[in-house]
């Protein structure tokens, strides 16, 4: 098997050219492939199309690519955490395609599964339906949504083996498995890289077939957007 393990994030992302489309995992700042994003910032490639549920915050996650003016178009469901985003949108430096969250997840899933489009009731009767084909099934209206296949995908997993089998942790899974399938070339960063055979086949969330490159990250920031706590109960 051709080796999938790469040692350098900087070298890994060097194959990404200007104008590439990249599907990126994460929800808010949870489960984002932060090492790949920050390495891509250093390359300075421009005119990127980013497909991701959110667009990071100011100074964190995908927000750093915005600040560095590397993003031409963003496909996302919610971008309200980011002032840079607002400014670039108003200036006309950035194009945005808002997509309902479930539709976005399904567009990536469909793209990865070789399904070019699908019908959904989500968005019927709203601006989301503008310009889209619609069809009635059993008396109910649905709109046609197109799948997304990206040139590259950036994925963050908790554990991975050297053949690219992946395990995610808690809600850091989110869009990562979907991005992994929708990228023509998928890069994964993990917190723990193990030998082939060490992961229980029953526990694998993403089979290695979807993964082209895997890298071990360290010193994860794992920024928390809203730190909400309760008092520890007194025993």
Nearer to another protein, 3 or 139 (CB): 139
Nearer to another protein, 177 or 217 (CB): 177
Q: Cα–Cα distance between 225 and 60 in angstroms, integer?
A: 10
If you compute the radius of gyration of the chain from its CA atoms, what whole number of angstroms results? 18
In the complex, least distance from residue 206 CB atom to another protein, rounded to whole angstroms = 9
Q: Cα–Cα distance between 25 and 17 in angstroms, integer?
A: 20
Q: Which of 41, 46, 68, 101 binds another protein (CB under 8 A)?
A: 101
Does 223 bind another protein (CB under 8 A)? Our answer is: yes
Q: How many residues does the chain have?
A: 235
Q: Cα–Cα distance between 94 and 216 in angstroms, integer?
A: 32
In the complex, least distance from residue 216 CB atom to another protein, rounded to whole angstroms = 17
User: Of 9-17, 42-50, 65-73, 101-109, which segment contacts another protein by CB under 8 A?
Assistant: 101-109
Does 73 bind another protein (CB under 8 A)? Our answer is: no
Q: Are strands 21-24 and 95-98 parallel, antiparallel or unpaired?
A: unpaired
Nearest to 76 by CA among 146, 25, 41, 123: 25
Site for another protein in 39-68 (CB under 8 A): 53
Does 226 bind another protein (CB under 8 A)? Our answer is: yes
Specify whether the CB–CB gap between 53 and 81 falls below 8 A: no
Q: Cα–Cα distance between 136 and 152 in angstroms, integer?
A: 35
In the complex, least distance from residue 172 CB atom to another protein, rounded to whole angstroms = 4
Does 207 bind another protein (CB under 8 A)? Our answer is: no
Specify whether the CB–CB gap between 33 and 24 falls below 8 A: yes
Q: Cα–Cα distance between 51 and 98 in angstroms, integer?
A: 10
42 phi and psi angles, rounded to 5 deg? -65, -30
Q: Which of 16, 23, 24, 29 binds another protein (CB under 8 A)?
A: 29
Does 186 bind another protein (CB under 8 A)? Our answer is: no
A 10 A CB-CB count for 127 gives 8
Does 116 bind another protein (CB under 8 A)? Our answer is: no
Does 216 bind another protein (CB under 8 A)? Our answer is: no
Q: Which of 19, 44, 102, 116 binds another protein (CB under 8 A)?
A: 102
Does 219 bind another protein (CB under 8 A)? Our answer is: no
The site for another protein (CB under 8 A) is made up of 27-31, 53, 76-81, 86, 89, 96, 98, 100-106, 108-109, 120-128, 158, 168-178, 205, 222-232
């Amino acid at each position: 098997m051709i080796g999938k393990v790469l040692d350098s994030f900087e070298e890994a992302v060097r194959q990404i050219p200007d104008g590439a489309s990249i599907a990126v995992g994460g929800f808010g700042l949870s489960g984002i492939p932060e090492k790949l994003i920050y390495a891509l910032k250093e390359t300075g490639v421009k005119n990127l199309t980013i497909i991701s549920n959110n667009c990071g915050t100011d100074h964190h996650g995908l927000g750093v690519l915005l600040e560095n003016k590397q993003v031409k178009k963003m496909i996302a469901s919610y971008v309200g955490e980011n002032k840079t985003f607002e400014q670039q949108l108003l200036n006309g430096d950035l194009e945005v395609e808002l997509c309902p969250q479930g539709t976005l997840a399904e567009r990536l899933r469909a793209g990865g599964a070789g399904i070019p489009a699908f019908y959904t009731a989500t968005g019927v009767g709203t601006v989301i339906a503008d310009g889209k084909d619609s069809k009635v099934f059993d008396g109910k209206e649905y709109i046609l949504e197109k799948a997304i296949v990206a040139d590259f995908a950036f994925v963050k997993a908790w554990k991975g083996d050297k053949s690219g089998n992946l395990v995610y942790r808690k809600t850091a899974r989110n869009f990562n498995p979907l991005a992994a399938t929708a990228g023509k070339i998928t890069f994964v960063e993990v917190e723990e890289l193990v030998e082939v055979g060490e992961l229980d086949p029953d526990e694998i969330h993403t089979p290695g077939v979807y993964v082209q490159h895997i890298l071990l990250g360290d010193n994860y920031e794992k920024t928390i957007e809203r730190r909400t706590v309760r008092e520890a109960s007194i025993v």
